[in-house]
Copies of this chain bind each other. A is one copy, B any other.
Amino acid sequence: MSRESDHRTLHNRVLAELGPAIAAGRYGPDHVFTLDGLVREFGVSRTVAREAVRVLESMRLVVSRPRTGVRVRPRSEWSVFDPQLIRWRLAGPGRLEQLRSLNGLRAAVEPPAAAAAARLASAEERAALVDLERRMAATGRRGDLEGFLELDIAFHRRILELSGNDMFAGLSGVVAEVLAGRTEHSLMPPTPRPEALCLHRHVASAIDGGLPQVAEAAMRAIVDEVVEALEGGGGADGGRDLGPGGTDPGAQGPGGPTAAG
């Protein structure tokens, strides 16, 4: 599912090892690499190593200075919105923490985005959104989780795009990553909850009807549900999937896999 960054070029392959390692905190902060060390470790030319460092530098993961070498910066200075860095963190031990942060961001942004969409979307766009929601609900009820995920992502992305705010739209990739990550790690019930589907329909029809406040409230309900599932359900983490007492999908107590993003 999650397409890893082009392993076609060599410097990207170096990045694919170095980036996650740094993002996971295996080196840091103030750990120092030397270019020659990277050259030897990865068996690549100096040029390639330098290109990789340039990219890491542009994400503010490292600084490169003469005589000093390539120094890892403290986490607080990283460009945490860089999609690549987000993916690296989602792939590593910081996954749960990263998911929490991202959901907090979603909770903040998506409701206002839905409100803005309700104000700005054109007639065709509203119709298309409603149609999208319908297909999503149908797919969900059919139990086609993969298809549902795809449409769910499309739904949220479309709303962010319709908000008319570049920055909101720029988060659509992040949202996709979160949603995909959730199903990928079995945090989803086998079939989306009817309540969640219902809320999505409310969002769609509120935007269709030009009701910003309703759209905002409905979207807030959706994202808050997810946040609660993640915060309350507790860090069922450790490794990759549900932790101690991984609840049987059938018996969903309070905090079981519940949301449908």
| A residues lining the B interface (CB < 8 Å) | 11, 47, 50-51, 54-55, 58-60, 75-76, 78-84, 97-98, 100-102, 104-105, 107-109, 111-113, 116, 163, 165-170
In the complex, which residue of chain B has the Cβ closest to the Cβ of A106?
B167
Chain B residues closer than 8 Å to A109, beta-carbon distance: 105, 108-109
Do A167 and B79 have beta carbons less than 8 Å apart?
A: no
- A-B complex: 7 closest residue pairs judged by Cβ atoms: A81-B81, A80-B170, A105-B167, A101-B166, A101-B167, A108-B112, A104-B165
Chain B residues closer than 8 Å to A78, beta-carbon distance: 170
Chain B residues closer than 8 Å to A76, beta-carbon distance: 169
Contact sample, A vs B, 29 pairs, CB 8 Å cutoff: A11-B54, A47-B50, A51-B54, A54-B54, A55-B55, A55-B58, A58-B58, A58-B59, A58-B84, A75-B166, A76-B169, A79-B81, A79-B82, A80-B169, A80-B170, A81-B82, A81-B167, A97-B166, A98-B166, A101-B167, A101-B168, A102-B167, A104-B116, A104-B167, A104-B168, A105-B167, A108-B113, A108-B168, A109-B109
In the complex, which residue of chain B has the Cβ closest to the Cβ of A109?
B108
In the complex, which residue of chain B has the Cβ closest to the Cβ of A89?
B166
How far does the Cβ of A62 sit from chain B's closest Cβ, in whole Å?
13
Chain B residues closer than 8 Å to A112, beta-carbon distance: 104, 107-108
Do A167 and B55 have beta carbons less than 8 Å apart?
A: no
How far does the Cβ of A57 sit from chain B's closest Cβ, in whole Å?
8
Determine which of B51, B101, B168 lies in contact with A165 in the assembled complex, contact meaning CB atoms within 8 Å: B101
In the complex, which residue of chain B has the Cβ closest to the Cβ of A51?
B54
How far does the Cβ of A232 sit from chain B's closest Cβ, in whole Å?
15
How far does the Cβ of A219 sit from chain B's closest Cβ, in whole Å?
12
